[in-house]
Structure 1
Amino acid sequence: MNTGLLTIDTHTHVLPPGWPDLQARYGYGGWVQLAEHGPGCAHMLKDGKLFREVQSNLWDPDRRLAECHDSGVHVQVLSTVPIMFSYWAKPTDALDLSGLLNDHVASLVAAHPQRFVGLGTVPMQDADLAIRELERCMQELGLAGIEIGTHVNGMNLDHPDLFPVFEAARDLGAAVFVHPWEMLGRDRMSKYWLPWLVGMPAETSLSICSMIFGGVFERLPGLRVLFAHGGGAFPATLGRIEHGFRVRPDLVAVDNERNPRDYVGRFYVDSLVHDPDMLRFMIRLLGAERIALGSDYPFPLGETVPGEMIARMDDLSAETRARLLAGTALEWLGLDAARFRA
Structure 2
Amino acid sequence: MTATPTIDVHAHLLLPEIEETVAGHPGHEEARALDARRNGPAALAVNGPMVAARLPRLTDVHVRLAAMDATGVDIQLVSPSPNHYHYWADPQLADAVSQLANEGTAAHCAKAPDRLYGLGLVPLQHPDLAAPLLDHALEQGLRGVEISSHAGDVELSDPRLAPFWARAERTGALIFLHPFGCTLDARLDQWYLSNTVGQPTENAVALSHLIFSGVLDRHPGLKLLAAHGGGYLPTHIGRSDHAWRTRPDARACAHEPSSYLRRLYFDSLVHDPYVLRELIRVAGADRVLLGSDFPFDMGTDDPLGALRAAGLPDHDFHAVRGGNAAALLNLARGGTPR
Tell me by how many angstroms 1:17 deviates. 5.2
| Equivalence for 1:294 | 291
Q: Secondary structure at the match of 1:12?
A: strand
Q: Tell me, yes or no, if the aligned pair for 2:5 and 2:334 is still in contact at 8 Å.
A: no
Question: 2: CA distance between counterparts of 1:105 and 1:306?
Answer: 23
Matches within 5 A, 1:193-208: 193-208=192-207
User: Counterpart of 1:220 in structure 2: which amino acid?
Assistant: H
| Equivalence for 2:223 | 224
Q: Tell me, yes or no, if the aligned pair for 1:185 and 1:199 is still in contact at 8 Å.
A: yes
Q: Tell me, yes or no, if the aligned pair for 1:174 and 1:333 is still in contact at 8 Å.
A: no
Q: Tell me, yes or no, if the aligned pair for 1:213 and 1:252 is still in contact at 8 Å.
A: yes
Matches within 5 A, 1:1-342: 6-16=5-15, 18=17, 21-23=20-22, 26=25, 29-30=28-29, 52-53=48-49, 54=51, 55=54, 56-138=56-138, 140-248=139-247, 250-253=248-251, 255-313=252-310, 315-340=311-336
User: Counterpart of 1:123 in structure 2: which amino acid?
Assistant: P
Q: Tell me, yes or no, if the aligned pair for 1:95 and 1:130 is still in contact at 8 Å.
A: no
Question: 2: CA distance between counterparts of 1:4 and 1:308?
Answer: 20
User: Counterpart of 1:177 in structure 2: which amino acid?
Assistant: F
Tell me by how many angstroms 1:195 deviates. 1.2
Question: 2: CA distance between counterparts of 1:23 and 1:242?
Answer: 43
Moved more, 292-301 or 326-335: 326-335
Tell me by how many angstroms 1:153 deviates. 0.9
Tell me by how many angstroms 1:182 deviates. 2.4
User: Counterpart of 2:182 in structure 1: which amino acid?
Assistant: M
Question: 1: CA distance between counterparts of 2:167 and 2:109?
Answer: 23
Return closer, same or farther for 1:268/1:287 CA change in 2, 3 Å cut-off: same
Q: Tell me, yes or no, if the aligned pair for 2:15 and 2:80 is still in contact at 8 Å.
A: no
Tell me by how many angstroms 1:131 deviates. 1.5
Return closer, same or farther for 1:106/1:72 CA change in 2, 3 Å cut-off: same
Question: 2: CA distance between counterparts of 1:340 and 1:308?
Answer: 26
The total of aligned residue pairs comes to: 321
Return closer, same or farther for 1:204/1:28 CA change in 2, 3 Å cut-off: closer
Q: Tell me, yes or no, if the aligned pair for 1:7 and 1:74 is still in contact at 8 Å.
A: yes
User: Counterpart of 2:116 in structure 1: which amino acid?
Assistant: F
Tell me by how many angstroms 1:203 deviates. 0.6
Return closer, same or farther for 1:19/1:145 CA change in 2, 3 Å cut-off: closer
Q: Secondary structure at the match of 1:295?
A: coil
Deviations 1:218-268 (A, max 9, x none): 1001100010100100011111111111121x2212x32421122121101
Q: Secondary structure at the match of 2:160?
A: coil
Q: Tell me, yes or no, if the aligned pair for 1:231 and 1:269 is still in contact at 8 Å.
A: yes
Question: 1: CA distance between counterparts of 2:333 and 2:158?
Answer: 35
TM-score, length-scaled by structure 1: 0.87
Question: 2: CA distance between counterparts of 1:31 and 1:191?
Answer: 21
Deviations 1:108-127 (A, max 9, x none): 22221111010000111222
Q: Tell me, yes or no, if the aligned pair for 2:143 and 2:174 is still in contact at 8 Å.
A: yes
Q: Tell me, yes or no, if the aligned pair for 2:134 and 2:145 is still in contact at 8 Å.
A: yes
Question: 2: CA distance between counterparts of 1:162 and 1:24?
Answer: 28
**Bigger strand fraction:** 1
Question: 2: CA distance between counterparts of 1:100 and 1:165?
Answer: 19
Question: 2: CA distance between counterparts of 1:297 and 1:340?
Answer: 22
Question: 1: CA distance between counterparts of 2:232 and 2:84?
Answer: 24
Q: Tell me, yes or no, if the aligned pair for 1:201 and 1:233 is still in contact at 8 Å.
A: yes
User: Counterpart of 1:71 in structure 2: which amino acid?
Assistant: T
Question: 2: CA distance between counterparts of 1:135 and 1:3?
Answer: 33
Stretches of structure 2 lacking an aligned partner (at least 5 in a row): 33-43
Stretches of structure 1 lacking an aligned partner (at least 5 in a row): 34-48
Question: 2: CA distance between counterparts of 1:316 and 1:19?
Answer: 41
Moved more, 85-94 or 49-58: 49-58
Question: 2: CA distance between counterparts of 1:302 and 1:222?
Answer: 29
C-alpha RMSD of the superposition: 2.3
Higher relative contact order (CA 8 A, sep 6+): 2
Moved more, 67-76 or 20-29: 20-29
Percent of aligned positions that are identical: 36
Q: Tell me, yes or no, if the aligned pair for 1:157 and 1:210 is still in contact at 8 Å.
A: yes
Return closer, same or farther for 1:180/1:23 CA change in 2, 3 Å cut-off: closer
Q: Tell me, yes or no, if the aligned pair for 1:6 and 1:322 is still in contact at 8 Å.
A: no
Q: Secondary structure at the match of 1:233?
A: coil
Deviations 1:72-101 (A, max 9, x none): 000011101112111111022011011112
